[in-house]
Copies of this chain bind each other. A is one copy, B any other.
């Protein structure tokens, strides 16, 4: 998820680590802040894999910065990841939102974008709950506990809103194909 986000932000323009940190903090930091000790090793991994290059720029504002730039390999790794997200990218909301944040990078491929949205649509269309009566998913009406009922109400509102948006956006994308 962090890897995807780093590649996604760098696709727009080269950044140095500190800037990247602030972008990441905006995207997910409100919910789950990422720490230095996570970011810098992740950058190093991406560099080792040849997905980005670092160039030192001595004394711009304070300490020497390392500008991070996506390589061609990095660019295609990003696009490939966006075209074929794994199951967790589709089901876990935090990961899914990371995919959504950068899906526009597939801008020449409306059919590929639509395919990704359709996977999310399929996932959200499966009957699911947090609690089960045997095999039957329980709805908010079946639950007496007010807190669990809240969970189900909130989840339903989210799903409804997302399905509406998915269907509208898919219709638009299909017109563009």
Q: Is A104 part of the contact surface with B, judged by Cβ < 8 Å? A: yes
Least Cβ distance of A87 to chain B in Å?
9
A31 touches B162 (CB 8 A): no
A169 is contacted by which of B97, B146, B165 (Cβ under 8 Å)? B146
Least Cβ distance of A168 to chain B in Å?
9
A92 is contacted by which of B32, B91, B131 (Cβ under 8 Å)? B32
Least Cβ distance of A122 to chain B in Å?
13
Footprint of B on A, CB under 8 Å? Answer: 26-28, 30-32, 88, 91-94, 97, 100-101, 103-104, 113, 126, 128-132, 145-148, 150-151, 153-154, 157-158, 160-162, 165-166, 169, 172
